[in-house]
Amino acid sequence: MDHDTQSILKTYFGFTQFRRGQEEIINALLDKRDVLAVMPTGAGKSLCYQVPALMLQGLTVVISPLISLMKDQVNALQDGDIPGAYLNSSLTWDAYQTTISRAAQGAYKILYIAPEGLKREDIRYLGEQQDIAMVVIDEAHCISQWGHDFRPSYLLISEFIQGLAHRPITAAFTATATDQVKEDIVRILQLENPYVLTTGFNRENLYFAVQAISKSKDKVQALLDYLHNHQDKSGIVYCATRKTVEELCATLNKAGYAATRYHGGLEDWERQHNQDDFIYDRKPVMVATNAFGMGIDKSNVAFVIHYNIPKNIESYYQEAGRAGRDGGPADCILFYSPQDLRILTFLITTPPQGEPPKAPALISHHLELLKIMTFYATTTDCLRARLLAYFGDTPPNYCGNCSNCTTSFESRDISLDAQKIISCVYRIEQRGKRFGKTMVVDILRGNKNQKLLSQGLDSLSTYGIMADMDIHRIRTILDYLIAHEYLALEGDTYQVLCPAARSREIIFEKKPLTMMLPKERPQRTPSVKDRALDEPLFTKLKALRYDLAQKAHIPAYIIFSDVSLQDMCRKMPLTLEQFLTVSGVGKVKMEKYGAVFISLLKEHQAQRLC
């Protein structure tokens, strides 16, 4: 193996320079210092331990939470001629024993192990037979009960490290960690004077957006509209419940989209099959609960849509961050509906069947996190700034790449509109009734539905008083009044509107009230770089990549990312030397794939000149 970090970077990984933070982490590990690195998804965490693993004497053990991540990482290593393997429950007994034996004989530089496997005697035997130079803990936030994906099996890691004859370098990596979680990681793993680096959480290639949607059918239509405009893209749609996953996946398939599903209620074989369909681009759309995705290394995910609001900012940031791992532009869109909060509150406060009640302190903690998530979904400030501020990062005043920044907001006087809405709630209560938001909006707009008319609600003085206002604008103002306690929602199964303590400020004191309301959002236009791309050539390159991947039984993005193919389109390399200048192409990739891709590029150029 080459012992120069820059040479290894280019030869095996195809890059000419390190990303932010990578070189500092690599140097710390090569100095045999423990590391805690908090780096956003897509920032190149795996490179930080793979480069030193090739330079250190002995085996690097990577403790990773999901089978899919291990398979992806090992496929990528092997495609780059790096000796790597994994041990997990997907292997047959014979394959598992063969891998253990070969690892003990020093056949691998990098070995991935599931945390649950640390209980096994043969893993302990491996530690006795092979010098373990470094132990890497991926998704290290799982070790803390205050993290969003706590896994008890992660508590086995410290005991495993202590049981080795010689203490290895220990490196912990995560994409999301608050200060409390970082302290837990250092304490539980017993990191010794660790080099701690947080590279920052800002990923400029991601576009963040929130769409406020009240009705379920409107959500479905919003999703169908998005997919219609992104038919050649691969993405994930996250849902809060298994039932929603099932229904939405069926709807998308019926509409002609190649979608698959993933949740904890499926059989193991089906989850694996569906995940493979997504990874190998047979089904470009994955509809899933949050059971899907940790460690997914699919580089060409162009969008992540949260159909329901997640439980906390950390989960949202990590799940949204599965988009745009190749550095290309990608969308992270949250569909926000206030009724989703009831579902999540129930999930937070109610233990799964057969499990003991949750600790009150933990319930309170998670409810507070949900409250912060709700602030994100309803803010008119820069969305990126909200995310970065949560993690203690320095936020921009204006990012220019989120729905709030790209939408022109204007301060509007809503005093009269607020008086009309609150008066309507008062008038309804004076008749001894209370209704939900939908009925109140119907009354304000003068709707003639049978339920409203049969109860004589059309005789209210506020009936039709806002008939000339867009229904979405009324709902937006209504939600604002609720959020700022001018109105209240009561009830569990069916929530109804009622006056609140601050209602009189609007009705009797005539308090002026303003809020930021959005103007119509302008359509984003593609960048000059995107417009200049030779789309027919890009399509041919993707087809070639897919054929090669099918023959090798690996995901297409492991051969080359979309960013690499786009760079080929722009540079048009016609010699092996020129091919080596393409982003993501190193000596190994050049020798393996250069000739066949150059042949296609020459053929395309000849056709274009004819």
What pLDDT was estimated at residue 525? 43
What pLDDT was estimated at residue 522? 46
Query: In this predicted structure, which of 13-22, 39-48, 355-364, 517-526 has the lowest mean pLDDT?
Result: 517-526
- The string of pLDDT tens digits covering residues 80-105 is 889 999 988 888 889 989 998 898 88
SS (H, E, C) 462-500: CCCCCCCCCHHHHHHHHHHHHHCCCEEEECCCCCEEEEC
Cα–Cα–Cα angle for 12, 102, 560, rounded to 5 degrees: 25
Burial of 355 (0-12, 13-18, 19+ CB in 10 A): exposed
pLDDT at 1 over 50: no
- The string of pLDDT tens digits covering residues 413-448 is 999 999 999 999 999 999 999 999 989 999 999 998
- The string of pLDDT tens digits covering residues 324-376 is 888 889 999 999 988 888 888 888 888 877 778 878 888 888 888 888 999 89
Q: What is the DSSP letter of 117?
A: G
**Whole-angstrom Cα distance, residue 156 to residue 553?**
34
What pLDDT was estimated at residue 237? 96
pLDDT at 270 over 60: yes
What pLDDT was estimated at residue 494? 78
What pLDDT was estimated at residue 521? 47
Question: Tokens in use for 506?
Answer: 């609007």
Higher per-residue confidence, 455 vs 42: 455
CB atoms closer than 10 angstroms to residue 89? 10
Mean pLDDT for all residues in the chain: 86
Average pLDDT on 199-208 reads 86
Specify whether the CB–CB gap between 48 and 26 falls below 8 A: yes
What pLDDT was estimated at residue 293? 62
What pLDDT was estimated at residue 345? 86
What pLDDT was estimated at residue 408? 57
Average pLDDT on 373-390 reads 87
Domains, the chain, with CATH or none: 5-198 (3.40.50.300), 206-408 (3.40.50.300), 411-518 (1.10.10.10), 528-609 (1.10.150.80)
What pLDDT was estimated at residue 397? 62
pLDDT at 51 over 60: yes
The DSSP result for 232-257, as a single string, is T-EEEEE-SSHHHHHHHHHHHHHTT-
What pLDDT was estimated at residue 420? 96
What pLDDT was estimated at residue 257? 95
- The string of pLDDT tens digits covering residues 289-321 is 887 765 566 888 999 999 999 988 988 988 898
Query: In this predicted structure, which of 58-67, 190-199, 285-294, 496-505 has the lowest mean pLDDT?
Result: 285-294
Higher per-residue confidence, 364 vs 177: 364
What pLDDT was estimated at residue 527? 41
Nearest CA to 401 out of 457, 313, 333, 317 is that of 333
What pLDDT was estimated at residue 148? 59
What pLDDT was estimated at residue 216? 72
Nearest CA to 372 out of 357, 358, 396, 389 is that of 389
What pLDDT was estimated at residue 544? 93
Nearest CA to 277 out of 298, 256, 294 is that of 298
**Whole-angstrom Cα distance, residue 610 to residue 597?**
20
Average pLDDT on 385-392 reads 84
- The string of pLDDT tens digits covering residues 503-522 is 999 999 999 998 877 665 44
Average pLDDT on 176-191 reads 87
Higher per-residue confidence, 343 vs 576: 576
Residue 307 neighbours by CB under 8 Å, 6+ apart: 219, 223, 237, 238, 239, 240, 244, 248, 335
**Whole-angstrom Cα distance, residue 192 to residue 417?**
61
**Whole-angstrom Cα distance, residue 393 to residue 175?**
13
Average pLDDT on 7-14 reads 85
Alpha-carbon Rg for the chain, nearest whole angstrom, is 27
Specify whether the CB–CB gap between 395 and 388 falls below 8 A: yes
**Whole-angstrom Cα distance, residue 108 to residue 59?**
7
- The string of pLDDT tens digits covering residues 225-262 is 999 999 889 999 999 889 999 999 999 999 999 999 99
Average pLDDT on 588-602 reads 91
- Please list the helix, strand and coil fractions of the chain in percent, rounded to the nearest 5, in that order: 50, 15, 40
What's the pLDDT band for 487 if we cut at 50, 70, 90? Answer: very high
What's the pLDDT band for 3 if we cut at 50, 70, 90? Answer: low
Query: Helix or strand or coil: residue 310?
Result: coil
pLDDT at 165 over 90: no
Higher per-residue confidence, 491 vs 275: 275
| pTM (two decimals) | 0.61
